[in-house]
Amino acid sequence: PPLSRSTSANLCLATGVRGGVDWMRKLAFRYRRVKEIYTTYKNNVGGLLGPAKREAWLQLRAEIEAVTDSWLTLALKALTLIHSRSNCVNILVTTTQLIPALAKVLLYGLGIVFPIDNIYSATKIGKESCFERVIQRFGRKVVYVVVGDGVEEEQGSKKHNMPFWRISSHSDLMALHHALDLEYL
């Protein structure tokens, strides 16, 4: 039988399937909660871990710093310089899934220089798509400097005419900090 106007105008919204209304609400709630936790503990991840785990975490970070010749401290100095400038922001594009990436940022003490809205996961869409989203968000009349160690970052930076600063050794990181400190970047 032919459909009447009333039945053909009905909108069926799937509730339990991915992309359905309920699923989207749950996802939105989950990300609001993640953002709340990130924002609350970005300056104090020890408060999230509790006293015992905090001590173990601090010990592990100290060991990582010793083994890497203070790689994290130097990276944080460069990122802090950028963060302190009123017209600059740090943006992180990673192939790690978003929630584990946020956890890593907090555990490495980088939450203070990376606002949660400036962390992009390229797991499903690739770094190229993330670069395009960043450009959409901040515009084309902005100077971007891509810092990384991979081919994907370098190719993406070239495609969008962005300078690329390769970090493959400790001296590269020191040179970046020096260039920032002298305001060449």
10: number of Cβ within 10 Å: 7
- For residue 104, count CB atoms less than 10 angstroms from its CB and return exposed for 0-12, middle for 13-18, buried for 19 or more: middle
pLDDT for position 119? 97
Per-residue model confidence as pLDDT tens digits over 71-107: 999 999 999 999 999 999 999 999 999 999 999 999 9
User: Per the annotation, does 149 bind a ligand?
Assistant: yes
Give the other-Cβ count within 10 Å of 39's Cβ. Answer: 12
Kindly report the backbone phi and psi dihedral angles of residue 167, in degrees, each rounded to the nearest multiple of 5, phi listed first: -115, 100
Joined together, the tokens standing for residue 10 give 């009905």
pTM: 0.83
From 76-80, 114-118, 180-184, the region with the lowest mean pLDDT: 180-184
CATH topology of domain 15-182: Rossmann fold (3.40.50)
- The answer to whether the CB of 18 falls within 8 A of the CB of 99 is no
